[in-house]
Amino acid sequence: MSTNASAIENIQGIGRPWMEVLHEWVTTVDHKGLGLLYILYALSYLVIGGFEALIIRAQLMHAHNHLVSPQVFNRMFTMHGTTMIFFVAMPMLFGFANYLVPLMIGARDMAFPRLNAFSFWLTALGGGLLYFSFLGGNGLYGAGTAPDVGWWAYAPLPAKAFSPGHSSDYWTIALLVSGLGSVGTAINILTTVLCMRCPGMHLGRMPLLVWLNLVMSGMVLIAVTPLTAAQVMLLVDRYLGGHFFDTQAGGSATLWMHFFWIFGHPEVYILILPAFAFVSEIVPVYSRKPIFGYPVMVGATVFIGFVSMSVWAHHMFTVGMNSYANSFFTITSMVVGIPTGIKIFNWIGTMWGGRIRFKTPMLFCLGFLFQFLVAGLTGIMLASSPFDWQLGNSYFVVAHFHYVIVGGLLFAIFAAFYYWYPKFTGRMLSEQLGKVHFWLFLIGFHATFDVMHIPGILGMPRRIYTYEPGRGWDTLNLIVTIGAVIQAAAILVFVCNLAVSYWKGANAGKDPWDAWTLEWSATSPPPAYNFATIPVVASRRPLWDLKHPEDPDSRYE
Amino acid sequence: MSAFTIPIPPSPRPWVLPDRGKVAMAALIIAESAIFTIFVVAYLFYIGKSLTGPAPREVLETPVFSTICLLSSSLTLHVAGKFLERGKQSAFLGLWLLTFILGGVFLFGTGLEWHRLIHEKGLTISTNLFGTTYYSLVGLHAFHLTAGLLMLLAVLIFGLTGRVNQDQTGRVGVLSMYWHFVDAVWVVVFTVVYLVGR
Amino acid sequence: MQGYLIASSTNILAPASTPARTIFGLSLFVLGITALIFVVVAGLMVYSVVKFRARATDAAREPAQVCGSTQIELAWTVIPALIVAVLFLATARVIHAIQDTPKPAAALDVIVVGHQFWWEFRYPKLGIVTANELHIPASDRARPTPTFLKLTSADTDHSFWVPELGGKTDLIPNRVNQMWLDPPRPGIYLGQCAQYCGTQHAKMLLRVVVERPADFGAWVSAQQQAAIQDARVSAGKRVFETNVCINCHAVSGTAADGRFGPDLGHLMSRATLASGAAENTPSNLRLWIQTPDAIKPGSLMPAMKLSDADLDAVTAYLETLR
Ligand code: HEA
Ligand code: HEA
Ligand code: CUA
Ligand SMILES: [Cu+2]
């Protein structure tokens, strides 16, 4: 316990021998310490993965560019994709979940603190292994061989025949290990939510953030494990001479595709649900109204969770499924749009009739709403399978998913940073730098990913290290590259903001945003035990009840 | 300083939440089921797709005896739990030991089967698709069973040193959930490999 | 060679074949509906943000704490559901129209085999094997002569994509996929491999040469001839046959019957080298044979380390294979 306590004090920067501090960070089992570790870990990988993106963009700046070799380029997009999904998005979201869920349900820690630490260090090991491949991919004698099979590693590319050396092994094992970490964390979050809620907080009173993370954890359990299984099979092939995906021995390439996407599609909703969670907490506070249609929001989330398990093959419209399969996966993919739409409408309903305050977190949320709408609609276009026969594997797809992941997820994550950083550190992030960050990133984002749709429509496939001139792709790619550089600048501003405000930021106090959920009742940062006495709640907005005794929510629920 | 109580009378009914251990184990079981599902799907998908022999029909023998052992072990384990609840330690230990033995017999049976297949029938994991899927699926189950046995053993040792009593009923219950799951999985694997697969 | 320069675009919005055109129609429909949704929803967002922004005057007070309305929720559940139904029906029609078309008797069969990183085209009925440039007859409305492709792969996954002629279809080992084209206008249609297949996925370009039936017939009979035997380049022929070239390449009527690389029997009938990586000129050809990596780094053709004399000879020889 004492370790945790001081682990928190470190955050306030109370100077002590750095070895000691380090030791406490490494050994902490406190959900807040681990949450921050997750977040810092993800942030550093965001910069690495983004750097790889910059290399990709620099190479594609104009036709027949010779900046990097095809081999290097293929490694770059493989590492970029793998890093961003497994070592940026996942840990980032787990980090926030770790930190916030116990606080929001009035608990003192996660259900299994040690499992929690174990899961984090597994994830950390995974990232380490992936990047060690740069050294070890060929065995230590031949350097510079990161995996180059793409982030889906479609069979038979990762088979020994086409991928000698060990680069694919590092890819496989890294994902296997971090996958186990994810499952551990999911079990932990699920158990925490179901077994650690403070008195009075029955399921119908949990903050939406908790609800969405609950569903997310449930999805991790059923969606990440198929990938684990597939990775095990791949290892059996590579090390024991198995034939699961060995097309020479009758193995099936499409089976791998199915297994990967049975993981892959739910995964993208696993990523977006926590983003929804942030928005569902932040929009109400800055609109000064409770979330519109809470029960419907919960229902929609659960519905998304279920349907998203049955849409995976919309990533496989071009592999030659029969017309019935194509129709089936078209309809399921489109049906997901309904509950998602409900969410968007409810967020608008929340702002409707409110008094919106445009603080940085709210700005990022508005960005999220707009961009997610567009991204979802391009998703619907891709879901229309014949349309996808044209757009699939083109830059239109790349544009679609960056629109969701960067324009949606990343914007929501930035919103969460500006909103909860005061709780994490006790200091406010600079509002000026925040606005600069927002506008720069918004401009960079749209310059990059709006334009990126067009080369896709003009027939530019993805994963090509160079392209022919005279197809109308050149100028567009140049603009996209410039946009990426602007994004980099914006993120540099953000990193500076994090650093500067950590030392110079204004003091936050318990509740800087005049918010309503339990975490704002604890000090900033909260003590190791979170709450001296376990709170008792009577509504979804306990702090509202506290601040408005004359008219508490509990009267209406 | 940090916490507070809202000035509204807490809900009168007592605040009870499910047991952590059970919930977590349930979650783990869900995750494991997904893994097994994928392996089972792969097995079914590749039935009859091997380019070379041997085929299941030629080499597999239905492990009736060890299957019976494994299934009955679930029963003994269940009864053992009941005894522990009522504080009948020695009866509990006896049945627990029996469970362990039954599980061990099953594992041994699998070992024999594999030895026969490898050395007499020449079927290895790299022989053909059947070999690959068979050893992976059965092996995955055997792996989980081994893990279960180790945990049974741990409890056994604690029991013999007299450290397992009524208070541990909950924990022992969690462990039994796992064991029952491993048995249930075997029912599926058995059906797929020895009934459907031939 | 003619036609190397006059290359059409790869724009999916410029369909030139029935499948592409059908998809194009659907695309416009889907685009229209999604655009409509966008305008409405984005409009609502902008309106609420502008209308309900906090003003200095009332920032202190809290607004009315409304927390839901069943009717509204119902409305914005049902309407999207209806839209989805419409979208789905429109899509299903097109899926059926393209995938389940019966093959007419007059159809031309071509087997497409994907290789790292080039295309092999076999015309089973005509006994032709060629590479990288697919020749098909124009198909007029009155007497349609569509081309039906059977697609498979010799190694990793590839994808056949010529945007103006139709959607893409993957080439997957151990699996045979099918697609069809019926372009009415003669011309050259560009495309490229659309499924990541390894190092040189980017330079696995594709061109479809659509010819008037007469021209196509001429091409066919030319391809059916055995490779030209020209005494003047026998030196080069010897170099070709005494090097490992023949292990990977085939030239009808010679010892060369390798299948790992493209068939060279009528190399000069192709406008490009190494699946579009370079124009098929003597200098490029020589460079290619000397160091393939100079044109297509990472291609599976090794540098042959021939002496300059041998290089010239073999180039001269290949130059005769029209
Ligand atoms: C956060 C991640 C995320 C999210 C949320 C989504 C959401 C959706 N995605 Fe996307 N997608 C990805 C991440 C994501 N996607 C990634 C990473 C890939 C590529 C992976 C790779 O290939 O490398 C991909 C690829 C991808 C493909 C495959 C393309 C191809 O490779 O050929 C398809 C095809 O159907 C698709 C569809 C959809 C659909 C229908 C949704 C829907 O959920 C969208 C629903 C939302 C809306 C529809 C908007 C709001 C709704 C309304 C305003 C109501 C009214 C609307 C209607 C009635 C339609 N996505
Ligand atoms: C979380 C997911 C995520 C995120 C955030 C991003 C962010 C970005 N991505 Fe990427 N991307 C994927 C997930 C993601 N991507 C996936 C899954 C693929 C598919 C891979 C595959 O095909 O296998 C992909 C593929 C992909 C491609 C296609 C590659 C190809 O097919 O050939 C491109 C091309 O432009 C691209 C670009 C970008 C850019 C410009 C950003 C920008 O938003 C990045 C902005 C961030 C930064 C720029 C970092 C900040 C840097 C600094 C602050 C300093 C820089 C450091 C130094 C100069 C030392 N991404
Ligand atoms: Cu062939 Cu990409
Ligand atoms: Cu998807």
Which of A 479-538 lie inside 8 A of C, CB atoms? none
Of A156, A341, A346, the CB nearest to C80: A341
Q: Do A244 and B42 touch (CB under 8 A)?
A: yes
Q: Which of C188, C222, C256 finishes a domain?
A: C222
Structure tokens at A51: 């750097």
Q: Are C193 and C45 in contact (CB under 8 A)?
A: no
- A191 contact residues in B (CB cutoff 8 A): 20, 23-24, 27
Of A187, A230, A535, the CB nearest to B4: A535
Q: Are A25 and A10 in contact (CB under 8 A)?
A: yes
Q: Average model confidence (pLDDT) for chain B?
A: 91
- A367 closest CA partner among A194, A487, A533: A487
Which of A 64-103 lie inside 8 A of C, CB atoms? 69-71, 74
Quote the pLDDT of residue A358.
94
Measure the CA–CA gap between C247 and B186, rounded to whole angstroms. 52
Structure tokens at C44: 């609502």
Q: Which residues contact C231 (CB under 8 A, 6 or more apart)?
A: none
Q: Is residue C3 part of a domain?
A: no
DSSP string covering A79-92:
HHHHIIIIIIIHHH
**Locate tokens 């990193």: which residue?**
A495
Measured in angstroms, how far is the CA atom of residue C68 from the centroid of ligand 4?
Answer: 31
A310 touching B (Cβ < 8 Å): no
Q: Are A282 and A209 in contact (CB under 8 A)?
A: no
Measure the CA–CA gap between C160 and C162, rounded to whole angstroms. 7
- What residue's CA is closest to ligand 1, atom 17? A401
- A340 closest CA partner among B68, C294, C76, C228: C76
Report the DSSP beta bridge partners of residue A356.
C53
Q: For chain A, how are helix, strand and coil distributed in percent, rounded to 5?
A: 70, 0, 25
User: Comparing C317 with A136, which gets the higher pLDDT?
Assistant: C317
Structure tokens at A11: 């955050």
Q: Do C161 and A459 touch (CB under 8 A)?
A: yes
Angle, CA of A138, A142 and A143, to the nearest 5°: 95
CA A425 to chain CA centroid, nearest Å: 22
- What is the DSSP secondary structure assignment for residue C265, as one 8-state letter? T
What distance in Å separates residue A519's CA from the closest CA in chain B? 10
B123 touching A (Cβ < 8 Å): no
Pocket around ligand 2: residues whose beta carbon is below 6 Å from it? A 47, 50-51, 53-54, 56-57, 77-78, 80-81, 84-85, 88-89, 150-151, 398, 402, 405-406, 410, 448, 462-463, 484, 487-488, 491-492
Q: Is residue C299 part of a domain?
A: yes
**Which atom of ligand 3 lies at the shortest distance from residue C114's CA?**
1
Angle, CA of A405, A389 and C19, to the nearest 5°: 155
pLDDT over 90 at A10, yes or no: no
Where along chain A do its domains lie? 2-555
Q: Is residue C63 part of a domain?
A: no
Q: Is residue C58 part of a domain?
A: no
Q: How distant, in Å, are the alpha carbons of A373, A374, A407 from that of C37?
A: 9, 10, 19
Q: Which of C176, C191, C222 finishes a domain?
A: C222
Q: Are A252 and A245 in contact (CB under 8 A)?
A: yes
Band (B9; pLDDT cuts 50, 70, 90): low
Question: Mutate which of B132, B133, B140 to test chain A, going by most A C-beta atoms within 10 A?
Answer: B132
* Model confidence pLDDT, tens digit, residues B85-106: 998 889 999 999 999 999 999 9
Radius of gyration of chain B (CA): 22
Pocket around ligand 1: residues whose beta carbon is below 6 Å from it? A 268-269, 271-272, 314-315, 333, 336-337, 340-341, 344, 373, 376-377, 379-380, 382-383, 388, 392-393, 397, 400-401, 404-405, 409; C 37, 41, 80, 83-84
Q: Name the range with the highest mean pLDDT among A134-143, A277-286, A466-475.
A: A277-286
Radius of gyration of chain A (CA): 23
Residues C120 and C164 in one domain: yes
Measure the CA–CA gap between A303 and A283, rounded to whole angstroms. 22
ipTM value for the complex: 0.94
Q: For chain B, how are helix, strand and coil distributed in percent, rounded to 5?
A: 75, 0, 25
Q: Do A157 and C84 touch (CB under 8 A)?
A: no
* Model confidence pLDDT, tens digit, residues C197-231: 999 999 999 999 999 999 999 999 999 998 888 88
- B23 contact residues in A (CB cutoff 8 A): 190-191, 194-195
Q: What is the pTM of this model?
A: 0.95
Of B2, B7, B17, the CB nearest to A532: B2
Q: Do C27 and A330 touch (CB under 8 A)?
A: no
**Locate tokens 């073999």: which residue?**
C314
Residues C183 and C85 in one domain: no
Buried b (16+ CB within 10 A) or exposed e, A87-118: bbbbbbbbbbbbbbbbbbbbbbbbbbbebbbb
User: Do strands C187-192 and C278-279 pair parallel, antiparallel, or not at all (unpaired)?
Assistant: unpaired
- What is the DSSP secondary structure assignment for residue A407, as one 8-state letter? I
Measure the CA–CA gap between C289 and C287, rounded to whole angstroms. 6
What distance in Å separates residue C282's CA from the closest CA in chain A? 21
Closest C-chain CA to A462:
C194
Residues C134 and C217 in one domain: yes
Of B2, B28, B133, the CB nearest to A187: B28
* Model confidence pLDDT, tens digit, residues B91-146: 999 999 999 999 999 999 999 999 999 999 999 999 999 999 999 999 999 999 99
Measure the CA–CA gap between C205 and C193, rounded to whole angstroms. 6
Helix (H/G/I), strand (E/B), else coil: A160: coil
- How many A×C Cβ pairs under 8 Å? 266
What distance in Å separates residue A132's CA from the closest CA in chain C? 21
Residues C77 and C22 in one domain: yes
Q: Which ligand is nearest to the CA of A51?
A: 2
Measure the CA–CA gap between C253 and C39, rounded to whole angstroms. 66
Angle, CA of A76, A79 and A80, to the nearest 5°: 80
Lowest mean pLDDT among A110-124, A129-143, A235-249, A508-522: A129-143
Lowest mean pLDDT among A4-8, A251-255, C62-66: A4-8
Q: Is residue C59 part of a domain?
A: no
pLDDT over 80 at A251, yes or no: yes
By the 10 Å C-beta count (0-12 exposed, 13-18 middle, 19+ buried), B64 is classed as exposed
Measure the CA–CA gap between A50 and A84, rounded to whole angstroms. 8
Residues C42 and C25 in one domain: yes
Residues C95 and C169 in one domain: no
- Mean pLDDT across A355-378: 96
Phi then psi for residue A161, to 5 deg, are: -60, -40
Measure the CA–CA gap between C8 and C206, rounded to whole angstroms. 12
Buried b (16+ CB within 10 A) or exposed e, A263-294: bbbbbbbbbbbbbbbbbbbbbbbbbbbbbbbb
Q: Do A225 and B31 touch (CB under 8 A)?
A: yes
Angle, CA of A139, A231 and B21, to the nearest 5°: 120
Q: Is residue C45 part of a domain?
A: yes
- Mean pLDDT across A196-221: 95
Of C11, C42, C84, the CB nearest to A458: C11
Measure the CA–CA gap between A67 and A73, rounded to whole angstroms. 9
Of C84, C168, C297, the CB nearest to A337: C84
Q: Which of C175, C193, C222 finishes a domain?
A: C222
Residues C211 and C141 in one domain: yes
Q: Do A377 and C167 touch (CB under 8 A)?
A: no
User: Comparing A444 with A16, which gets the higher pLDDT?
Assistant: A444
Quote the pLDDT of residue C282.
94
DSSP string covering A448-498:
HHHHHHHHHHTT-BSS-S---SSSS-HHHHHHHHHHHHHHHHHHHHHHHHH
Tens-digit pLDDT profile for chain C (322 aa)? 333 344 568 999 999 999 999 999 999 999 999 999 999 999 999 999 999 998 877 667 788 888 888 899 999 999 999 999 999 999 999 999 999 999 999 999 999 999 999 999 999 999 999 999 999 999 988 889 999 999 999 999 999 999 999 999 999 999 999 999 999 999 999 999 999 999 999 999 999 999 999 999 999 999 999 888 888 889 999 999 999 899 999 998 888 889 999 999 999 999 999 999 999 999 999 999 999 999 999 999 999 889 999 999 999 999 999 8
Q: Do C58 and A355 touch (CB under 8 A)?
A: yes
Closest B-chain CA to A197:
B17
- A471 closest CA partner among C191, C273, C185, C23: C191
* Model confidence pLDDT, tens digit, residues A31-85: 999 999 999 999 999 999 999 999 999 999 999 999 999 999 999 999 999 999 9
Handedness of CA A396, A334, A263, A219 (dihedral sign): positive
Q: Are A245 and A256 in contact (CB under 8 A)?
A: yes
Quote the pLDDT of residue C2.
39
By the 10 Å C-beta count (0-12 exposed, 13-18 middle, 19+ buried), A14 is classed as exposed
pLDDT over 70 at A1, yes or no: no
Q: What is the domain range of residue C31? A: 11-50+71-101
Quote the pLDDT of residue B4.
52
Q: Cβ of A26: how many Cβ atoms within 10 Å?
A: 12
Residues C43 and C18 in one domain: yes
Number of domains chain C contains: 3
Q: Average model confidence (pLDDT) for chain A?
A: 93
Report the DSSP beta bridge partners of residue A374.
none
Measure the CA–CA gap between A157 and A160, rounded to whole angstroms. 8
Single-letter amino acid code for the residue at A345: F
- A254 contact residues in C (CB cutoff 8 A): 172, 175
Q: Do C95 and A385 touch (CB under 8 A)?
A: yes
- B10 contact residues in A (CB cutoff 8 A): 199-200, 536, 538
CATH number of the domain encompassing residue C200: 2.60.40.420
* DSSP H/E element including C120: strand C118-123
* DSSP H/E element including C209: strand C205-211
Q: Which CATH architecture has domain A2-555?
A: Up-down Bundle (1.20)
Of A330, A355, A370, the CB nearest to C88: A330
Structure tokens at B148: 């279960």
Helix (H/G/I), strand (E/B), else coil: C28: helix
Q: Which ligand is nearest to the CA of A371?
A: 1
Angle, CA of A16, A19 and A20, to the nearest 5°: 55
Residues C130 and C190 in one domain: yes
Q: Is residue C292 part of a domain?
A: yes
Quote the pLDDT of residue A487.
97
Helix (H/G/I), strand (E/B), else coil: B92: helix
What distance in Å separates residue C17's CA from the closest CA in chain A? 13
- Give the residue, out of A268, A395, A398, A462, with the most ligand 1 atoms within 8 A of its beta carbon, to mutate for a pocket test: A268
- Mean pLDDT across A263-281: 96
Structure tokens at A368: 């999220």
- A468 contact residues in C (CB cutoff 8 A): 205, 276
Measured in angstroms, how far is the CA atom of residue A73 from the centroid of ligand 1?
Answer: 26
Angle, CA of A149, A151 and A152, to the nearest 5°: 85
Residues C190 and C125 in one domain: yes
Measure the CA–CA gap between C183 and A69, rounded to whole angstroms. 37
What distance in Å separates residue A536's CA from the closest CA in chain B? 6
What distance in Å separates residue A26's CA from the closest CA in chain C? 40
What distance in Å separates residue A187's CA from the closest CA in chain C? 32
Question: Mutate which of A110, A182, A244 to test chain B, going by most B C-beta atoms within 10 A?
Answer: A244
B16 touching A (Cβ < 8 Å): no
pLDDT over 50 at A5, yes or no: no
Q: Is residue C300 part of a domain?
A: yes
**Cis peptide preceding A199, ω within 30 of 0:** no
Angle, CA of A367, A371 and A372, to the nearest 5°: 110
Quote the pLDDT of residue C4.
39
- What residue's CA is closest to ligand 2, atom 12? A81
Measure the CA–CA gap between C286 and C308, rounded to whole angstroms. 10
